[in-house]
């Protein structure tokens, strides 16, 4: 069973997909964390961000894993706490726009479904990675609501955050994610569309479970 979920930054995909996977007993895969891990690798090793071929080579030669408890390992090292920085957010769009990188990501992402039922979330999961998934959802929320959620998340982590800065960063990432030539975030007729702006996490999860039943 494959449940595919796409949506913009801060739409609640992560939290909701994780809970959904727990309730269904499926494996949860956050594909954004894979693009984040690769961006971390590029920055750490000073690889030229304009050099698609060099990035592809580094990606081909690294071992990227996601553990059962959703930790991101790069060549065996746990980098989960290092991939959610503003520096990564700023550089990720360029790297995730490269066609060869997206092709290899998709191959790796499809492998997760070989021996498990999965809930996978990202930007191109319903359209490119698993266009024939059993259930396809597009999770949305207004940009104002998504910014508020990010500010709250940061505060909970004890991080300082500026509303306007986060608003601009989300807006720029939306634009890059929705307009890139290859693997753009898209709405299609066969996705189940959910606007969660005025819904709680539990309400969204229950609605999805209802659809899946
Ligand atoms: O879900 P997230 O915000 O952690 O994703 C970070 C970035 O990774 C996002 O801005 C675009 C990229 N991404 C992508 O291009 N395709 C995916 N399937 C998932 C994420």
Closest atom of ligand 1 relative to the 14 alpha carbon = 1
How many CB atoms are closer than 10 A to CB 25?
Answer: 8
Residue 109: per-residue pLDDT: 96
Kindly tell me if the per-residue pLDDT of 64 is higher than 90: yes
What's the 120 CA to ligand 1 centre distance in angstroms? 12
Tokens 């709405």 correspond to: 187
Give 157's pLDDT tier (boundaries 50, 70, 90): confident
Mean pLDDT of the chain: 95
Q: Are 32 and 95 in contact (CB under 8 A)?
A: no
Kindly tell me if the per-residue pLDDT of 173 is higher than 90: no
Residue ID of nearest Cα to ligand 1 atom 7: 32
Q: Alpha helix (H) ranges present in the chain?
A: 13-24, 31-44, 52-61, 86-96, 99-111, 143-156, 163-179, 201-212
pTM: 0.94
Give 213's pLDDT tier (boundaries 50, 70, 90): confident
17, 37, 122: which to mutate for ligand 1, most atoms within 8 A of CB? 122
Does 124 contact ligand 1 (Cβ within 6 A)? yes
Higher-pLDDT residue of 125 and 177 is: 125
Residue 51: per-residue pLDDT: 98
């Amino acid at each position: 069973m494959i449940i595919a979920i796409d949506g913009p930054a801060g739409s609640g995909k992560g939290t909701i997909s994780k809970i959904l996977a727990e309730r269904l007993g499926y494996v949860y895969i956050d594909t954004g964390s894979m693009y984040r891990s690769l961006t971390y690798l590029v920055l750490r090793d000073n690889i030229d961000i304009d050099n698609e071929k060099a990035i592809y080579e580094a990606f081909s030669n690294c071992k990227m894993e996601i553990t059962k408890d959703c930790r991101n390992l790069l060549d065996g090292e746990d980098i989960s706490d290092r991939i959610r920085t503003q520096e990564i957010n700023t550089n990720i769009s360029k790297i995730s726009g490269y066609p060869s990188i997206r092709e290899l990501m998709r191959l790796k992402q499809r492998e997760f479904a070989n021996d498990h039922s999965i809930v996978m979330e990202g930007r191109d999961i319903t359209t490119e990675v698993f266009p024939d998934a059993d259930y396809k959802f597009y999770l949305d929320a207004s940009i104002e609501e998504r910014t508020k959620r990010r500010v709250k998340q940061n505060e909970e982590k004890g991080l300082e955050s500026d509303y306007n800065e986060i608003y601009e960063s989300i807006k720029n990432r939306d634009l890059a994610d929705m307009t890139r030539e290859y693997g753009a975030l898209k709405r299609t007729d066969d996705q189940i569309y959910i606007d969660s702006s005025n819904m709680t996490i539990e309400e969204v999860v229950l609605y999805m479970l209802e659809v899946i039943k």
